[in-house]
Structure 1
Amino acid sequence: MQPQDVAPRPAAGSGSDRTVDVEEAEAALVEHYPRLVRLAYLVLPPRLGHGRRVLTAHALVQRALPRGRSAAPVIPAQSTGRDGDPGYAYVRLQVVRAALEAGLPLTLRARPKRAQLPPLFPLVWGLRLFPRPGGADELALDQRLAALSGPARAAYVLRGLERLPDGDVREVLTEAGVKRVESALREAAGVPAAQYALLAESTEFDPCVLQARPTDLMRRRRHTRAALAAAAALAVCGALVALPGDGWGPDGAAAPVYARNPAAEAALDPGRLVKISPAVWKTSARTDFSVWPARGALTRDTTLLRRALAVWARPGEAVQVSATPETPAGGPAGPPQLLYAGEIGNARVVILYDGLRIARYAEPKDSTAGAALDLARADGATGAEAGALVLDRADGNVRYLTAPWVTKAVERDLSKPGAGSMDLTLTDGITSPLASPATRTGACTTWNVLELTDASGGHLLSDLGELVPARLTAGPPGSAREASGAQALRTWAPFACSLADVRAQGVRTVNAWGYARQPLPDGSGSAAWVCTRAETWRGDGNRVLAQFHTPGGLFGTAVAKAGDVPACGPRDPHVLAGVLWKSKGGHWYLLAAGDEATASVRATGGVRGSGQGNLLTVAAKQGAQAGLEGELKNGRPIIGLR
């Protein structure tokens, strides 16, 4: 055997006391490059094909250099009495590891390793490179190696090409990340050792002695023609976009069009807008936005409607765009339904509905500059949830467009249930302006809401800064009712200002549930415990507040907040919360309450105490930190909201 066919022997010592720098590893790589490439070629999976295996083997060896100084593995070679070469040992380990990684299948669960991807370099255009063919013995050995697993193939090659004993083969495979080393050695033993010489001597396994042939010339010609045609088409499209004219290009405040799409053009054609007849809702079994008629004085203004549709599909940089959280962007998939087009104040307004979203387009009367687009989720809205839409906000007031089945609209202060209400005029479904709490800053002293009346009764809606007002309900989860009744209004009154906590969050409904009343320890009356839960249109992002209200106070206090929890809702209609309270005499207490299904309550941490039933009163100190635990009557534990 020639000296260059013998792997260099690393120096004695441990892997921790020898390091390899870039220069040392590069010297070993250059000196033993043919051997390392042959090693990589033999370990790579044969399913890659000869051509790709050749390029991949060269790429793996060329990428085997360390980035800095690295520890050298100590794996002795087959000969004795030679100078050590830790650089070769390091590079060989990197090549084996990368070749084994290249045989791993790609999965969606893990990021692909670099060795699993086709190499960028070396790069050969127009040629197929593959080793010279051998005889029958080489063909038989190649077939046997192809039948082995990657680790077993590496074990056989290390034995035959590197002439390593099994102990050193185990170390190399372990360092390379192989988990079942003994299984790989047993599998490799199934290939006769008599064929070891072919690994080092046959030109069929030498990726440095190559033949070159052209790639598929006809396919290459077709691909070249296709690439030229695509480039020409792209250039033509760019030129068409830049041309002036009245085609489907920039429209009002919309962004330019960079490609024509027949389906998109049809969806944004004003002539194809869905317009519902004013009488449809009277005979329909549905009470949602799909049966709203098209209202307003500009429903036939195709120029305005075209601008609204174009801005919805592609709002320009100057358009002020707002959307409720997780509202899908982009224009409608098909022609949307027109709900309103008209002039409100100093603006022209268009409201559209595509079955999933409400889109409100507004522009000044005298120009298209300063246009605005608002989007909101409205999927599944029915009944009271489809009772009104925000048409306009100005000077702290809001005007609504109401459903055609609404017979009466009034303004009410939710914080003052006994103050009565003020009638609002309805003109073609549009309310007169009423005060909006959505954009108010400073201390909260009132909270005005809209009360609508239809054939099913009264419904309360609150403006929370979005297109679709939130529906207000009251009562236990699963059996909540409209908040327009006298008892529901009294429940909501101390907690009306807590609605500010859920503004601009895509809220669909907010329910207030008075789940407990607790006698105060100083004999000053009883406190009310209320849980308010805000549900969103998207299903997640729900907000739960546990609130506490004592006699004589105007508003309640939020003592616990939680998001994305099932508590206080239909899926888990239970709640437990507590608060540190100071009596008029200056004494501090921990007060806690659960709903009626709570069998016992226990305080932990800085305050200790327990009691049967759903109420707990324990003497405490100012600033004490306590946890709450409880047990329901069915034996299920419950944790206090924090």
Structure 2
Amino acid sequence: MQPQDVAPSPAPASASPADPVVDVEQAEAALVEHYPRLVRLAYLVLPPGLGRSRRVLTSHALAQRALPRNRTPAPVIPAQSTGGAVDPGYALVRLRVVRTALEACLPLRRRAWPTWSQLPPLLPQVRGLQLYPRSGGADELALDQRLSALSAAGRAAYVLRGLEKLPDDEVRRLLHAAGAADADAALREADEVPGQYALLGSVAFDPCSLQARPTDLLRRRRHARAALVAGAALVVCGALLGLPGDGLGPDGAAAPPYAQNPAAQAALDPGRLTKAGPAAWKTSARTDFSVWPARGDRTGDRALLRRALAVWARPGKAVSVSATPGTPTGGPSGPPRLLYAGTVDHARVVILHDGLRLVRYAEPKDGTAGAALDFTRTDGARRAEANAVVLGRADGNIRYLTAPWVTKAAARDLADPGAGTTDLTLTDGVTSPLAGPGQERSGTCASWNVLQLTDGSHTRLMTDLGELVPARVTTGRPGSVKDAAGAEALRTWAPYACSLGSVRGQGVRSVNAWEFATQPLPDASGSAAWVCTRAETWRGDGARVLAQFRTPGGDRGVVAAKAQDVPACGKRDPQVLAGVLWKSEGGHWYLLAAGGSDTESISATGGITGSADKNLLTVKAEQGARAELKATLEDGRKISGLG
């Protein structure tokens, strides 16, 4: 266990800066959550001489390239914002953005290969349009001119001061880590520019809020003519060299058939699709996806169903295929069950179920180009998990297909338990659009929208984690969890809702929050809460566990420890032990540790030594000290600290 530094006020951040290594998933969550801020940072550091359109695309490219390819050591520079410490994932991607932005400002050398950052970005690209930030006033223009006169490191120093609110010592360390030759000179340059830091938040420096203008129309026309001639030549050559055959034909975006296996061919026959009766779920011994009736306005569209089955069996190269971890992507072994076929916003969607997996096929309404195929495991689903399926996502909104037993649907902000619910309409089981979770405000997670479903006797919360099936949200001690729909459960989840972003795309089946201890704080600072959140997956392994710590007055929890694929805080082993290094308002440092109610004693060794009976430990410590935690349970078993 590595202790965690936590600022007591005003609001803790959502991750631990004491973790030695940043996971790719943690870096991705930070990049997605703070993307507008990171792109603005890159835009301000890049030289204005690039031109505003190329500067916009380059800033987006640098922010997107900041995602590391594997586990990466966290930078020693703490990431700060107006709210206090930020997670090491954000510190890492911010450092990578600054480093590549400084590289992009270097002049090309005749005898050296250019770096990726010095070349025009491969992605993103925009054809036929030039994109610019919105125009600002005279003050913004004057500031841009003053910044253009600075070196790249000088601009970075000014922006890190003003946009990131970093003190000079941390700016100096970050610039040094990013490869700046002389951080002190950069700070002196930044001193020459008036501190109009509020202007850095202007729309004039926002590469995510853009206006568009056409490129050179005459030159485009000449290029289009040349491309048309070349394309015609290729068509003629293809007609001469191509072999006769049926082509893609009725199978749409599917690849050509590679076998004539009778069983495989039978699985591709829309006439053999199985369908549950409208009332089958009322009398069946099972209440899962297998008893959902077929719904939608295209259940009789044999051509659409044929394409969906063919693409499932043989996805072509142009088909976008995704699958949650541990989900096989092979074709159906027999005729699957049809759950939905219909038009959703601007797409035609088919949902199929083969007993093990849910499969979603989607194609544009005006053709098959750009078809998508998504897989997710659902084996062992029960009524509590088989409540809804994502039909489509568009413009940040989600439409769900709900189970036939669902009688009411609503939207709720999990981060704000007092906000109430917003009713969603249900049309043949399809909800009206619901805003996706993790909405941003000022670069931070401001809300976490979830789907609330009622089936007459139970009310359940489901959260979208970027997959076909939303995850069930529960609270309580492992082994006796309940749906997080009551007032007390909602209050338990509120400070930790935004931490759900760390388990996106992991094949999560359910996620539980359990407040396992309340600890009095020294120096008369009130009491802190210890909460364990555990995300269970459909595949059974890969569970992610976070022990989070929240001080009085804090509206968000801080990750004190985390672990992957461990039984802790779960039904098989509900025990957990975690610790944090905490500074009181009086300036004193303490090691705080807590375990569940079954903990007999806790001890700390290493850089901090101490012990306590029962499940709470408080020991005076020094800043930066580290300790190893051990606990003895009432049954004599010994456990170690999480993480």
TM-score (norm 2): 0.61
Any idea what SS the aligned residue of 2:523 has?
A: coil
Summarize the alignment of residues 155-194 of structure 1 with structure 2, pairs less than 5 Å apart. Answer: none
Measured in 1, the distance between the counterparts of 2:356 and 2:440 equals 29
Q: Which amino acid aligns with 2:583?
A: K
Q: Which amino acid aligns with 2:388?
A: A
**Matching of residue 414 in structure 1 with residue 404 in structure 2:** no
Residue aligning to 2:360: 360
Measured in 1, the distance between the counterparts of 2:429 and 2:525 equals 49
Residue aligning to 2:218: none
Residue aligning to 1:586: 587
Residue aligning to 1:257: 257
Instruction: Please list the CA deviations of residues 293-316 of structure 1 after superposition, one character each: whole Å capped at 9, or x if unmatched.
Output: 000000000000000000011100
How has the CA–CA distance of structure 1 residues 440 and 333 changed in structure 2, closer, same or farther, with 3 Å as cutoff? farther
Summarize the alignment of residues 509-528 of structure 1 with structure 2, pairs less than 5 Å apart. Answer: 509-528=510-529
Residue aligning to 1:445: 446
Residue aligning to 1:380: 380
Q: Which amino acid aligns with 2:485?
A: S
Measured in 2, the distance between the counterparts of 1:600 and 1:345 equals 58
Query: Contact 1:439–1:465 at 8 Å: present in 2 too?
Result: no
Query: Contact 1:249–1:256 at 8 Å: present in 2 too?
Result: no
Query: Contact 2:250–2:307 at 8 Å: present in 1 too?
Result: no
Query: Contact 1:249–1:257 at 8 Å: present in 2 too?
Result: no
Query: Contact 1:515–1:594 at 8 Å: present in 2 too?
Result: yes
Deviation at 1:438, TM superposition (A): 6.6
Moved over 3 A (4+): 438-442
Deviation at 1:440, TM superposition (A): 7.0
Measured in 1, the distance between the counterparts of 2:322 and 2:250 equals 21
Measured in 2, the distance between the counterparts of 1:456 and 1:632 equals 38
TM-score (norm 1): 0.61
Deviation at 1:245, TM superposition (A): 3.0
Residue aligning to 1:476: 477
Structure 2: gaps spanning 5 or more residues: 1-241
Any idea what SS the aligned residue of 2:384 has?
A: helix
Deviation at 1:285, TM superposition (A): 2.5
- The Cα RMSD (Å) is 1.6
Instruction: Please list the CA deviations of residues 381-409 of structure 1 after superposition, one character each: whole Å capped at 9, or x if unmatched.
Output: 11120000001101111110000000111
Deviation at 1:488, TM superposition (A): 1.0
Instruction: Please list the CA deviations of residues 82-126 of structure 1 after superposition, one character each: whole Å capped at 9, or x if unmatched.
Output: xxxxxxxxxxxxxxxxxxxxxxxxxxxxxxxxxxxxxxxxxxxxx
Instruction: Please list the CA deviations of residues 290-346 of structure 1 after superposition, one character each: whole Å capped at 9, or x if unmatched.
Output: 110000000000000000000011100000111001111211111001000011111
Instruction: Please list the CA deviations of residues 362-394 of structure 1 after superposition, one character each: whole Å capped at 9, or x if unmatched.
Output: 000111000000110011111120000001101
Measured in 2, the distance between the counterparts of 1:357 and 1:330 equals 10
Measured in 1, the distance between the counterparts of 2:438 and 2:397 equals 9
Measured in 2, the distance between the counterparts of 1:316 and 1:251 equals 10
Residue aligning to 2:174: none
Q: Which amino acid aligns with 2:598?
A: A
Any idea what SS the aligned residue of 1:501 has?
A: helix
Residue aligning to 1:424: 424
Deviation at 1:242, TM superposition (A): 5.9
Summarize the alignment of residues 22-41 of structure 1 with structure 2, pairs less than 5 Å apart. Answer: none
Summarize the alignment of residues 230-629 of structure 1 with structure 2, pairs less than 5 Å apart. Answer: 243-245=244-246, 251-437=251-437, 442-629=443-630
Q: Which amino acid aligns with 1:423?
A: D
Deviation at 1:437, TM superposition (A): 2.0
Deviation at 1:542, TM superposition (A): 0.7
Q: How many aligned residue pairs are there? A: 401
Q: Which amino acid aligns with 2:461?
A: L
Instruction: Please list the CA deviations of residues 228-275 of structure 1 after superposition, one character each: whole Å capped at 9, or x if unmatched.
Output: xxxxxxxxxxxxx964238x9771000111221110000110000011
Q: Which moved more, 1:632-641 or 1:460-469?
A: 632-641
Query: Contact 1:509–1:534 at 8 Å: present in 2 too?
Result: yes
Measured in 1, the distance between the counterparts of 2:523 and 2:299 equals 65
**Matching of residue 640 in structure 1 with residue 606 in structure 2:** no
Find the structure with the greater CA-based Rg.
1
Measured in 2, the distance between the counterparts of 1:242 and 1:376 equals 38
How has the CA–CA distance of structure 1 residues 434 and 476 changed in structure 2, closer, same or farther, with 3 Å as cutoff? same
**Larger RCO (CA within 8 A; separation ≥ 6):** 2
Any idea what SS the aligned residue of 1:383 has?
A: coil
Structure 1: gaps spanning 5 or more residues: 1-240
Q: Which amino acid aligns with 1:264?
A: A
Deviation at 1:492, TM superposition (A): 0.7
Query: Contact 1:527–1:550 at 8 Å: present in 2 too?
Result: yes
Deviation at 1:455, TM superposition (A): 3.0
Q: Which amino acid aligns with 2:407?
A: T
Summarize the alignment of residues 92-241 of structure 1 with structure 2, pairs less than 5 Å apart. Answer: none
Measured in 1, the distance between the counterparts of 2:628 and 2:543 equals 23
How has the CA–CA distance of structure 1 residues 242 and 265 changed in structure 2, closer, same or farther, with 3 Å as cutoff? farther
Query: Contact 1:526–1:550 at 8 Å: present in 2 too?
Result: yes
Measured in 1, the distance between the counterparts of 2:367 and 2:550 equals 51
Deviation at 1:284, TM superposition (A): 1.9
Query: Contact 1:438–1:463 at 8 Å: present in 2 too?
Result: no
